[in-house]
Structure 1
Amino acid sequence: MLMTPKETRMPATDLLPLAGKAAIVTGSTSGIGLGIARRLAAQGAAVMINGFGNAIEIEKTRGVLAAETGREIVYDGADMSQPAAVQAIVDHARRSFGKVDILVNNAGIQHVEPIESFAPAKWDAVLAINLSAAFHAIQAVFADMKERQWGRIVNVASVHGLIASPFKAAYVAAKHGVIGLTKVVALEGAEHGIACNAICPGYVWTPLVEKQLEDQARSHGIPREQVIRDVLLKQQPTKRFATVEEVAGLTAFLCGPDAASITGSALPVDGGWLAH
């Protein structure tokens, strides 16, 4: 018997492919997460942003996003390392939007240290934010997505979910775990209209990376241009940073109608890093 898709296109316009959808983007008050929130809203979705920072600045960011896109933008300051707070942000989104169609797990932290001195508390914190938070958030939205027979989950992993670098034990372990989780969720959601994918960026130009650039230049005693080429971008053949907009564009595509058959994938945005 020929099996046909339950849904060939989302009920939206080409200009606003996410019209009528509601999204949560964790870790989205700056950097990659903010870029993703902006792109989803620009394509028609109501968006809940999340993250830490100055309350006045966050409200300004929320207001600017709403004004730019004409969408409903809501903020929740949940600490994603706490399972109860993860459930609470999902409940908040349901109260605000009536549902959660799209979940982007972007919240993450990093710690760099040799294994023999890697602080157990740092290991626990990195795993909690980078991996466990994604599981708890997915669990909180999954049943409703199955009931509606539609959902999009995008996990922002890393090129370090596919390869390793020294001194990043917790981060590499967590990001590998995120990709494994992505595959399991994709299999469990496949017959229910739920697609789950992971994005694996290399170095992306963000304020956080810019600060790291200055720190590396001081530590190595070399010019920032040399840090860019010989330290940060050593493994990226393009010798350029990916942009927030590039990552946001791929995320929005994965949430849209043309990506319905893409699920369980780990998609690099790495300037050719993995082609070595």
Structure 2
Amino acid sequence: MTDLKGKCALITGSVQGIGLAVAEAMAEAGARIAVHGLATQDEAAAVCAGLLQKGAEAAEFFDADMRDPDQIETMLAAVTAWGPVDILVNNAGIQRTAALEDVNREIWDSIIAVNLSAAYHTMHGIMPGMAERGFGRVVNIASVHGIVASKNKLPYVASKFGLVGMSKVAALEYADAGSKSSGGVTVNCIAPGWTETAIITPQVAERAEKFGGDRDKGIADLLSEKQPSKRTSDPSEIGALALWLCARQAHNITGTVIPVDGGWTAQ
């Protein structure tokens, strides 16, 4: 259903985890992939080579510190020259856990800059071109913490709630761009719950120790606190959803927040 041949996708934070899974899904659909993230030259080259093997029309690494608007602007200029961006996936993100009284200015500014402001800068720079061409897909990787809150995550929750709100406004402003035949311009959020990425590995290992090293029991125990399914999601499942949102048939799906959270936010 989703053929992305001839389309160019910029995916921030795409050298590992969810971002890489999204890049792989879009590579398999034939897109040109603009890769971004924290990586050495060798690591970036390996990611690009892997995407080419999966079917990407082309894959190239673009570097930028997402805390720095000037670097983002420079990156966008380079990506746009390489191939006008048809698909933007804002996945780059950081998290620090701390109580409100312990959140200093550096923690607040960094998380808001990467998780929220960077998405504003990329959308601001790319979406007008999408409207001119009549097709565009923006998929913002939010979080269950863009729907509900948790203790000790104030900047992260604020950034993800902000990302959801910003996405809804952009969806409304661009809702009538393009047409059914061209595919239109849409903006949606995916809100993952517990997902099998490196960030949860220490928590899973610690919890598994309670069950003699049984990882599955450790995961079920950890997730039982919030995620009713007691199952994690695989990054490839997030990638498949992001790909589906890029289909031409999804032209009327915009302004949504789609949880992938095993019922967490249904409670």
What does residue 89 of structure 1 align with?
75
Aligned AA for 1:83? Answer: P
What does residue 191 of structure 1 align with?
176
| 8 A Cα contact 1:233 1:241, kept in partner | no
Please say if 1:209 is aligned against 2:195: no
Secondary structure at the counterpart of residue 129 of structure 1: helix
Please say if 1:253 is aligned against 2:244: yes
Name the CA shift for 1:70/1:144 in 2 (closer, same or farther; >3 Å): closer
Partners of 2:220 and 2:126 in 1: how far apart? Answer: 41
Match of 2:39 among 22, 36, 53: 53
Kindly provide the CA deviation profile for residues 44-100 of structure 1, in whole angstroms up to 9, marking residues without a partner as x: 210101000232122112112112214200101211111111112221111212x11
Partners of 2:202 and 2:54 in 1: how far apart? Answer: 28
State the Cα RMSD in Å: 1.6
What does residue 3 of structure 1 align with?
none
Secondary structure at the counterpart of residue 189 of structure 2: strand
Q: How many corresponding residue pairs? A: 258
Match of 2:234 among 219, 224, 243: 243
Kindly provide the CA deviation profile for residues 103-139 of structure 1, in whole angstroms up to 9, marking residues without a partner as x: 0000000000011111221011000000000000000
Kindly provide the CA deviation profile for residues 206-231 of structure 1, in whole angstroms up to 9, marking residues without a partner as x: 122224433x449xx73464642333
Secondary structure at the counterpart of residue 151 of structure 2: coil
Secondary structure at the counterpart of residue 155 of structure 1: strand
Partners of 2:241 and 2:224 in 1: how far apart? Answer: 21
Aligned AA for 2:157? Answer: V
Name the CA shift for 1:205/1:257 in 2 (closer, same or farther; >3 Å): same
Q: Which consecutive unaligned segments of at least 5 residues does structure 2 have? A: 178-183
Name the CA shift for 1:103/1:70 in 2 (closer, same or farther; >3 Å): closer
Secondary structure at the counterpart of residue 210 of structure 2: coil
Match of 2:26 among 40, 45, 52: 40
| 8 A Cα contact 2:207 2:219, kept in partner | no
Q: Which consecutive unaligned segments of at least 5 residues does structure 1 have? A: 1-13
Once the two structures are aligned, what percentage of the paired residues are identical? 38
Aligned AA for 2:3? Answer: P
